[in-house]
Amino acid sequence: KIETPTLPAYKAGRVYVAEVLKNMVAMNPAIIGGSADVASSCGGHWPEIQGHFLPPAFAEKVPGASYSGRYIHFGVREHACLAILNGISSSSCLIPYCTLFTVFYQYGLPAIRMASISKFPVLYIGTHDSIDLGEDGPTHQPVELLPQLRAMPNLLVIRPGCVEEIVGAFQVFAAQYTDKQSISLYVDPKTVVRRPVFVMTSRGELGLPYKGNTGIKGTEGLWRGAYVLHDCVDEVPTGLVPPSGKGVPRAHHVTLPDIVLIGSGQDLALVMKTKEILLQWSKTFNERLRASFDGFPHVATSAAPAVLKVRIVSMPCWELFDEQDQEYQDNVLCSKYQKILRIYVEKAATKNTGHDKYAHMSVLMPSYGLSGKAADVERKLEFTPEFIAAKVWSSWMDRGRILPQAGDEADRGFSSWVSHLGRRAGSH
């Protein structure tokens, strides 16, 4: 059983992952892995638990060196590292893992592809997952790798947004060895029993600015790929409270949101902070609007304008979410309602990489990253709560031209663009 480690809030994502992995390694002697010379930054090596997989002749220089060691020093050989893990998975009862900077997995993509084709249950852990890793700059900022991995069949790509979701990701991986699974929704004609799992996390702090109000724990919601973390009302219907175990019930909501904000990883905290700003702006806007009508008849008895209703959806794993039934997906994203605007925020991915399947609009990386301190880079590339809130607010005011309507046709030039000019905010 993997439990949430006792750690202070707002630690780096790589610290949380390393702590959970350490618990797994200590409990299961079948787990063996290594890193391509970056274990000190990514975590993944505990000599007192694993020792060193080295010839006994090295014991004088490296205490614990023996062929019974469970940590392999791969050196700077990313492709060889991942290919060797495939061999371990295919020919033994051992459970292989690897920890690397996320961007360095690009050197070993062919080996990951082979693991996905062969359904080898290899655990990949990628840290330093977006633009917040510091002065190393765009060469180390993997803004395009997340979509590349998501495009691989049979590969689970999980980008947790909090420590509970990290624990859930490891539970999903471990369940492949303890539970009988049959994923029939995959295109692959062969039944998927096991598959590789890629857990992607951050160099910087990982945590939520406030608690969710739906009663769904991250460890439970992750099994569904996406779940409602914070709804637009605090009075949560009883249908949202999950039972014990990993299952999450289908949600039945009385109050529908105006906007659904979707995020993963560090961006989950970003959209939650964005929601706070949007609610404050909405309240201020309504107060000023109402004040402008002071002195008009019936103003005192008229209902106050409604505050913007925003739902926060955590979507750590596309593949698991796509495997859920359509009713659950519709309930989480409110995709059956044409008047609800859905916006996806993710600074670890570039545009035109599939987000339009879940959202009307996406705030993604427009280019490669920049060299500089994380806060400065995020401000320059407009990934702060204030910038995101401004983009969401602008999209909401202009939603008449964003949301699809009956009779819409493909954009074929100036004529189809002009046909949208008659739509104004609130017209629908």
pLDDT digits 0-9 by tens, 89-139: 998 789 999 999 999 999 999 999 999 999 999 999 999 998 888 778 899
Longest CA span, the chain: 93
Q: In the predicted model, what is the mean pLDDT of residues 335-357?
A: 90
Structure tokens at 257: 């949101």
Mean pLDDT of 240-251: 44
Give catalytic residues, as residue numbers: 78
Q: What pLDDT does 316 receive? A: 96
In the Cβ-directed half-sphere of 281, how many Cα atoms lie within 13 Å? 19
Specify whether the CB–CB gap between 212 and 234 falls below 8 A.
no
Helix axes 385-397, 266-291, angle to 10 degrees: 50
Mean pLDDT score of the chain: 83
Question: 9: how many CB neighbours lie within 10 A of its CB?
Answer: 10
Q: What is the mean pLDDT of residues 151-167?
A: 95
Please name the helix (run of DSSP H) or strand (run of DSSP E) that holds residue 73, with its range, or none: strand 71-73
Beta partners for residue 123, in sequence order: 97, 197
Q: Measure the CA–CA gap between 126 and 111, rounded to whole angstroms.
A: 15
In contact, 165 and 222? CB cutoff 8 Å: yes
Q: Average pLDDT in the 323-337 region? A: 92
Alpha-carbon gap, residue 252 to 89, rounded angstroms: 42
pLDDT band at residue 257 under the 50/70/90 scheme? very high
C-alpha closest to that of 372 among 133, 129, 135: 135
Mean pLDDT of 135-162: 93
The stretch 193-202 carries a mean pLDDT of 92
271 pLDDT tier (thresholds 50, 70, 90): very high
